[in-house]
Homo-oligomer: A and B are copies of this chain.
Amino acid sequence: MNHHDIQLDKYGRLKHFLTIDGLDRSLLLDILNHAESFAGVGERAVKKVPLLRGKTIANLFFEPSTRTRTTFELAAKRLSADIINLNIASSATRKGESLLDTLRTLEAMHCDMFVVRHANSGAAHFIASQVAPHVSVINAGDGSHSHPTQAMLDMFTIRMHKKDFSSLRVAIVGDILHSRVARSEIHALSTLGVSEVRVIGPRTLIPKDIHTLGVHVFYDLIAGLEDVDVIVTLRLQRERMRSALLPSEQEYFNLYGLTETKLAAAKPDVIVMHPGPINRGVEIDSHVADGKRSVILQQVSHGIAVRMAIMAMTLGNLAESKPKESDAHSN
């Protein structure tokens, strides 16, 4: 577990945010509680707090993602930070500068935070292991490894609808094998103590050793959805279609696409989540995506609040909260 400790400073406070794996329950609750206080900011006439005024945040996107970049950019701006967008693929590396030299250069410019998106698993960890002491690193998705801010916004969304994690049964549906979201989600749900986590998908898209994470595996969608409180539908990467891993989109939808009919297997008050962008008619039917059980757009809103909380916490600009107490009342 040693490689996770890098996320915490010597007082156990969040310094980087790279993966859910290794973080304890009180810290996750701390993030959720702080996010709750930021959730109101988005509703105000003046969506702005001065918490990170004069801080410099760099969006280091080695892999393009307008959607994720935008959420971090908005979170930074609403915290009054200065943010610069760097599309690394198209800049320094073209001139043959090494990654480490790019990091050193940005540190020397007194950047306080790197938000890192990279196609390679472990990239954010590597960067966090190399940066100067004054810099915080946030993982905005690395390969098929981890997407921890997505997991936390999902936890936030679940907590809004289901008061008690410990009684929940959660199903994650789709391409578990390649999903950084699934991995982060399973860690977060386990740490928050849900009753049961299920993964559902075709054999080719579920890792053989997934049971070691304490989840139950289902290859049949309806069986897996039975009595669940929360469904997390994963985005199907269409690129996979071209490989031998998957049947046609239509066949996938027939077997694993979430429809109103299949939803009936779950609890009546089930909530349906999706990290977006959704493929309508592939992993989810439009009636479900736009239906009354869907909380997909709430996830987007919460994404800003959760990222504001994590940015402010890692930069040490939030007063110490009391996770034990909030823990007691909120769960």
Write the residues of chain A forming the contact surface with B, with a CB cutoff of 8 angstroms: 42-48, 53-56, 64, 66-67, 70-71, 73-74, 77-78, 82, 84, 86-87, 90-92, 95-98, 101-102, 104-110, 238, 276-280, 297-301, 303-304
**Nearest CB of B to A137, in Å:** 18
A95 touches B54 (CB 8 A): no
Q: Is the CB of B42 within 8 A of A46?
A: no
User: Once the chains bind, are A110 and B301 in contact (CB under 8 Å)?
Assistant: yes
CB-CB under 8 A from A238, the residues of chain B are: 96
Chain B residues with Cβ below 8 Å from A96 are 238, 277, 279
Please give the distance in Å from A294's CB to the nearest CB on chain B. Answer: 11
Whole-angstrom distance between the Cβ of A37 and the nearest chain B Cβ: 16
Please name 26 pairs of A and B residues whose Cβ atoms are closer than 8 Å in the assembled complex, sorted by A. A45-B54, A46-B54, A46-B55, A47-B55, A47-B56, A47-B110, A56-B77, A66-B86, A66-B90, A70-B84, A70-B86, A70-B106, A70-B109, A71-B109, A74-B82, A74-B110, A78-B82, A95-B277, A96-B279, A101-B280, A102-B277, A104-B300, A105-B297, A107-B297, A108-B298, A109-B304
Number of copies: 3
| A98 neighbours in B (Cβ, 8 Å) | 280
C-alpha spacing A166/B101, complex, angstroms: 33
> How many angstroms from the CA of A115 to the CA of B300 in the assembled complex?
21
Complex Cα–Cα for A110 and B55 (A): 23
Residues in chain B near residue A104, CB distance under 8 A = 297, 300
Q: Is there an interface contact between A47 and B43, defined as CB atoms closer than 8 Å?
A: no
Q: A74-B84, A101-B280, A107-B297 are in contact. List 4 more A-B contacts (CB 8 A).
A: A42-B110, A47-B56, A70-B109, A104-B300
Bound form: Cα–Cα A42–B272 in Å: 46
A56 adjacent to B74 (CB under 8 Å): yes
Bound complex: CA A299 to CA B77 (Å): 28
- Set B91, B101, B109: member contacting A278, Cβ < 8 A: B101
Chain B hits for A82, CB < 8 A: 47-48, 74, 77-78
A92 touching B66, Cβ below 8 Å: yes
Smallest distance from the beta carbon of A73 to chain B beta carbons, Å?
Answer: 6
A14 and B95 alpha carbons, distance in the complex (Å): 33
Measured CA separation A280–B101 after assembly (Å) = 10
Q: Which residues of the partner chain B approach A42 to less than 8 Å between Cβ atoms?
A: 109-110
Q: Of B95, B108, B276, which is within 8 A of A105 by CB?
A: B276
Asked if A74 and B301 sit within 8 Å, CB to CB, the answer is no
Give Cα distance in the complex from A74 to B105, angstroms. Answer: 13
A54's partner among B47, B55, B279 (CB-CB below 8 A) is B47
Does A48 lie within 8 Å of B44, measured CB to CB?
A: no
User: Across the interface, do B45 and A97 meet the contact criterion of CB distance under 8 Å?
Assistant: no
Set of chain B residues within 8 Å of A110, measured between Cβ atoms: 42-43, 47, 74, 301, 304
Q: Is the CB of A48 within 8 A of B43?
A: no
Expressed in whole angstroms, the Cα–Cα distance for A117 and B91 within the complex equals 15
